[in-house]
Every structure is written in C-alpha cells, then in structure tokens.
Amino acid sequence: MKERRPGSGAAIARPSSARTNINTPRASFRSRLKRDRHLYLMLVPVIVFYLLFKYAPMVGEIIAFKDYRLGDGVFGSKWVGLKHFESLFGSLDFWRVLRNTLVLNVYGLVFGFPIPIILALLLNEVRIEWYKRTVQNLLYLPHFISWVVLGGIFIAILSPSTGIVNAILERVFGIEPIYFMASSAWWPVAYTLSGIWREAGWGTILYLAAMASIDPQLYEAAKIDGANKLRQIWHITLPGIRSTVAILLVLRMGQMMDVGLEQTLILQNQSVLDVADVISTYVYRVGLQNMNYSYSTALGLFQSAVGLILVIGVNRLTRSFGERGLW
C-alpha cells in the first residue's frame, strides 16, 4: 500500500505484513518432508523394525527390579527394588567374570584394534591388482565362516598332538607340546588371536574405503617435496583416516563390557573357566539354564549402562581432540 505525506505528491511504499515470507523451521521441515517424501517412506520399515525388536523389548528391563516368575508375568511379578543388584555386587562370581571380560577386551583393543589399520596401510601400497584382490579375499574369508567351524579349525591348529603349531615348536625349536587351549596363561592369547584372525580382514574394508577418499594430489605433492613412502603414510594417509579411526574407536569402547558368546562357548573348557568365564557366558548359564531371569537382567542392565557411559565419555574425548565423533 502507498501513503501520501501532507504537502507532497510523492508516494512512499510501505511493506505489507501479509506479503512478508517468513521461513520458519516448521515450514522448512514440511517443505523438506514433502520434497523427500519417497526417501522418508523408505525409512518406515527400518523404524518399525527398531521399534518392535530394539525398543519395545526394553520394557522387560523392569524385571531387574522384580522377583520375576513366569506364571506372574513381567507386570504381575513382585517388586523387590535393588535386591538383585545388591546380590550381584556382593557375588564373587560377578567380579571374576567382570575381570575376565575386561581383560579379554583390553587384549582385543590393544592388539586387535591396530591390526586392520596396519593391513589397510599395507594393502593400499600394493600396485599389482590381482595380488591385492587375492590377499583381500583371503583376509575377508574368515569373517563369513561360523565360529563353530572356525573354532574347530583353530583348536585343531593348536592341538598338542596333531596341531601344526606344536609340531613346529617341537621339530624346529625342540619345545615340548603346549596345551594352549587348556592353559589359563595361554587361553586369553589364543582367544585374542582367533578374534583377530576372523575380524581383522573385515575391518580393513572400512579403512581402505577411507584411504580411497584421500586426494591423490597430496601424494604427488609429497613426492615432489622428496617424501618417501613412510613419510607419505605418516603425514597424509594416517591423518586422512583419523576421523574413521576415531569413530570406530568410540564404537569399540562401547563393547568393552561385552564378549562374543558364540566364540567363548566354542573355545572355552572346564580347565580354563577361571579366565574364560565372561559376562555373556555367565548370563547364559545363570539366566537361561538356571532360570534366574531377574538376576541376569540386572547384570545385563549394569553391562549396558557401563557401555553407554564409555561411549559418551570417549565420544566427548574424541570431540575435544577436534574429531567429529558419533554426534
């Protein structure tokens, strides 16, 4: 609309509030939802899956605070408060399995976490394509083999009578056969090596993908400046995959309270239960076999809470170093 000043023939334009276009966050979200409606529609099955199989079962965590009985059900069982947590923290078995779980995870973190990075660095420098693909396939193959088969192979390799490892030790070095899988000192080492054998090649995929995104011109510039291969790896390749390493480290720390049930059950035996009995096998034995569901749920809730704290803490530490982190 226009307004005339007294004594002047000029008209001054005044903006109309009805024509002002305000881009509110709600309007922006609606426009994006309308524009990408097909992509959001594809997310519906994933959301439904997580709601049904991940979040809905979390209601059952309340039996950690109840004296759960199958006949009474989850909501009909009697409330007992923190009784099961008091029994848990007062049990010597709990502290034993907690120690074993942490020891095995520390071994896996210290010795197993760097192996995929080293393998990826080595494979990234291979220029013979057929040889590189062959090595990659051999490294990835154990990941797709069941622990039942892989564990049997690993036990046979370390067998004191027919194992190739003891045969080499005896014939080359003159060492008497070692019972690796029946020794409390050697079993954690064998467990860690078996985990590295199965998962190292699979983890290499992520680091190779991160290395593929590094600008090749950086390597060309480094060559012009006279940098050798080690210098290129240290100053270009490793900084280029640093964010990927940080994210995978955060995820790995979230598993510090968890040890694979299948791997442990296949490799453990009665001779090494003092070092091979971990939280997952303890929950399986006490919760399922002895039907002490409330006690095992309390242990699982404690395990999840500690894992969540570790993820949040390491993620904040990662962001303090300037990395992206999980969120």
The residue with tokens 């009995």 is 277
Instruction: Identify whether residues 285 and 193 lie together within a single domain.
Output: yes
Enumerate the β-bridge partners of residue 79: 66
**What angle is formed at CA 257 by the lines to CA 73 and CA 50, rounded to 5 degrees?**
55
Q: Is residue 1 a part of any domain in this protein?
A: no
| Cβ atoms within 10 Å of 50's Cβ, excluding its own | 11
Q: Is residue 174 a part of any domain in this protein?
A: yes
What's the confidence (pLDDT) of residue 241?
92
Instruction: Identify whether residues 158 and 105 lie together within a single domain.
Output: yes
Q: Which of 63, 81, 99 is the last residue of a domain?
A: 81
Instruction: Identify whether residues 104 and 45 lie together within a single domain.
Output: no
The count of domains in the chain is 2
Instruction: Identify whether residues 137 and 278 lie together within a single domain.
Output: yes
pLDDT along the chain (327 residues), means of 10: 48 46 66 85 92 90 90 88 92 93 94 94 90 90 92 92 89 89 93 93 91 91 90 92 91 88 91 92 88 90 91 90 79
What's the confidence (pLDDT) of residue 197?
93
Instruction: Identify whether residues 189 and 217 lie together within a single domain.
Output: yes
What's the confidence (pLDDT) of residue 289?
83
Q: Is residue 17 a part of any domain in this protein?
A: no
Instruction: Identify whether residues 124 and 73 lie together within a single domain.
Output: no
What is the spatial distance between Cα 104 and Cα 101, in angstroms, rounded to a whole number?
5
Query: Residue 98 sits in a domain of what CATH number?
Result: 1.10.3720.10
What's the confidence (pLDDT) of residue 76?
87
Instruction: Identify whether residues 69 and 209 lie together within a single domain.
Output: no
Question: Domain span at residue 48?
Answer: 23-81
Instruction: Identify whether residues 72 and 119 lie together within a single domain.
Output: no
Instruction: Identify whether residues 64 and 206 lie together within a single domain.
Output: no
What's the confidence (pLDDT) of residue 74?
86
Instruction: Identify whether residues 91 and 235 lie together within a single domain.
Output: yes
What is the spatial distance between Cα 84 and Cα 46, in angstroms, rounded to a whole number?
35
Q: Is residue 200 a part of any domain in this protein?
A: yes
Q: Which of 232, 247, 248 is nearest to 124 (CA)?
A: 232
Instruction: Identify whether residues 58 and 197 lie together within a single domain.
Output: no
What's the confidence (pLDDT) of residue 34?
83
Instruction: Identify whether residues 104 and 34 lie together within a single domain.
Output: no
